[in-house]
């Protein structure tokens, strides 16, 4: 069997063997079978899915039928908490505006732009900017062209213009890419001197339910995301884990003259072992409860899809706070609001967020 090597630095991986037995889920919220392998690099500390040839073939299968935000008809998920309910991209743009005063005119390149959620939110606040995007294929091009200020979609052999962009964004993209530090280094050629780069990724330390995502190859915490950025010779200006719940937001300066900062030696990442244990316990409890009858599951995203797979489809309904999703069908089951109460609800969340949701559900008459 081939040795498990880090896809970023080439170091040896220490395998997290409990992961082998866990069902998985795709990033567009479809159950996916057991079969992945995960480890932590002994050299750089990056937690990652082993990027084997089999894993790459799985990703090709996943992306060939990918549907972004399938639970809400393509509408971006809402973010709850922080005093407002708003689309995730709107929250990110608001955070960007609070940190940096961008010029009135400029060129934005959104890497992995999907159906344009971030581009729309950015246009609302910066209407005079020219918007550009890159994607795996051109399936969303017609939708993207409806966005005011949209200039061009780059896909396949068509590459973005060199030395052209004032801001480059990667919203939930970097976790999908092998060798992320080299990818970030390559963006320097596209940027104007002093340009900003905005990176948004899941916080794997805070959210165990992100670990089973089959097409994610990197699972970042604050230390590993900073290390990747600094290895790419980016000057990190901001790194927060509270702008969007369970996500990391990094803003850096893209400048070819940036100096390389030596990454600090990382301590062993105890959160991986803890989160895998939590997933194993959730799987055990959900499997046991499903034997007594179909489950009611909170949410209609990754964690809920993972529970659906764990329970082998024995799910009665999904509960969600997002009114846009109410009445829609997800994995063959109806999405409903919290009102009504009734039986016990499985909550695939962790930490303080889980406690907050459990409190709301109990107020609505549910058992947690």
CB 195 within 8 A of CB 225: no
- Token pair 């890497």 is found at 111
Lowest mean pLDDT of 26-35, 82-91, 106-115, name the range. 82-91
Name the nearest CA neighbour of 127 among 106, 144, 97, 100: 106
Between strands 165-171 and 107-111, the pairing is parallel
Residue 257: which pLDDT band, with cuts at 50, 70 and 90?
Answer: low
Residue 343: which pLDDT band, with cuts at 50, 70 and 90?
Answer: confident
Q: What is the mean pLDDT of residues 8-13?
A: 95
Distance, C-alpha 246 to centroid of its chain? 9
- Alpha-carbon gap, residue 308 to 315, rounded angstroms: 6
- pLDDT at res. 79: 75
- Alpha-carbon gap, residue 312 to 23, rounded angstroms: 10
- Alpha-carbon gap, residue 47 to 1, rounded angstroms: 20
Q: What is the mean pLDDT of residues 196-213?
A: 96
pLDDT tens track for 121-166: 999 999 999 999 999 889 999 999 999 999 999 998 778 988 899 9
The tokens describing 368, both together, are: 């947690």
Residue 151: CB atoms within 10 Å: 15
Is 351 a residue whose pLDDT tops 90? no
The tokens describing 221, both together, are: 């915490």
Q: Please name the residues in contact with 6: beta carbons below 8 A apart, sequence gap of 6 or more.
A: 12, 13, 41, 43, 44, 46, 48
Count Cβ atoms within 10 A of the Cβ of residue 336 and give its class: 0-12 exposed, 13-18 middle, 19 or more buried: middle
Domains of the chain: 1-269 (3.40.50.150), 291-363 (3.40.50.720)
Lowest mean pLDDT of 196-210, 230-244, 304-318, name the range. 230-244
**DSSP tag of 12:** B
- Alpha-carbon gap, residue 55 to 53, rounded angstroms: 5
pLDDT tens track for 168-185: 999 999 999 999 999 999
pLDDT tens track for 11-67: 999 999 999 999 999 999 999 999 999 999 999 999 999 999 999 999 999 999 988
Distances (CA, A) of 172 to 96, 114, 115, 346, 368: 16, 10, 13, 26, 31
- pLDDT at res. 255: 59
Q: Please name the residues in contact with 24: beta carbons below 8 A apart, sequence gap of 6 or more.
A: 31, 32, 33, 34, 35, 36, 212, 213, 214, 306, 309
Distances (CA, A) of 256 to 54, 184, 194, 359: 36, 12, 9, 50
- Alpha-carbon gap, residue 182 to 205, rounded angstroms: 23
Is 259 a residue whose pLDDT tops 60? no
- pLDDT at res. 264: 36
List phi, psi (to 5°) of 237: -105, -30
- The stretches of 162-301 forming alpha helices (DSSP H) are 180-187, 222-231, 270-290
Q: What is the mean pLDDT of residues 58-77?
A: 83
């Amino acid at each position: 069997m081939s040795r498990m090597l880090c896809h970023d630095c080439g170091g040896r991986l220490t395998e997290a063997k409990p992961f082998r037995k866990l069902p998985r889920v795709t990033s567009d919220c479809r159950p996916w079978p057991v079969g992945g392998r995960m480890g932590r690099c002994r050299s750089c500390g990056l937690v990652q899915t082993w990027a084997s040839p089999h894993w790459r073939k799985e990703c090709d299968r996943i992306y060939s039928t990918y549907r972004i935000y399938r639970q809400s008809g393509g509408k971006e998920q809402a973010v709850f908490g922080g005093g407002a309910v708003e689309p995730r991209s709107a929250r990110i743009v608001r955070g960007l505006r609070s940190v940096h005063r961008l010029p009135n005119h400029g060129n934005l390149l959104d890497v992995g732009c999907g159906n344009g959620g971030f581009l729309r939110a950015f246009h609302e606040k910066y209407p005079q900017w020219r918007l550009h995007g890159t994607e795996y294929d051109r399936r969303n091009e017609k939708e993207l062209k409806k966005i005011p200020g949209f200039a061009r979609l780059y896909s396949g052999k068509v590459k973005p213009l060199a030395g052209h962009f004032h801001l480059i964004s990667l919203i939930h993209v970097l976790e999908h890419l092998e060798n992320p530090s080299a990818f970030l280094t390559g963006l320097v050629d596209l940027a104007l001197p002093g340009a900003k780069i905005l990176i948004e990724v899941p916080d794997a330390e805070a959210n165990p339910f992100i670990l089973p995502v089959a097409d994610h190859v990197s699972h970042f915490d604050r230390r590993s995301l900073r290390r990747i950025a600094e290895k790419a010779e980016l000057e990190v200006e901001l790194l927060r884990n509270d702008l969007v719940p369970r996500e990391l937001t990094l803003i850096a300066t893209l400048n070819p003259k940036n100096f390389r900062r030596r990454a600090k030696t990382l301590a062993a990442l105890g959160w991986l072992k803890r989160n895998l244990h939590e997933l194993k316990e959730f799987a055990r409890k959900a499997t046991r409860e499903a034997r007594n009858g179909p489950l009611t599951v909170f949410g209609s995203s990754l964690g809920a899809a993972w529970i659906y797979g764990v329970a082998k489809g024995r799910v009665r309904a999904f509960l969600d706070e997002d009114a846009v999703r109410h009445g829609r069908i997800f994995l063959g089951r109806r999405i409903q609001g919290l009102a009504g109460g009734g039986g016990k609800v499985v909550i695939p969340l962790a930490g303080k967020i889980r406690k907050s949701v459990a409190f709301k559900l109990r107020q609505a008459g549910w058992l947690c």
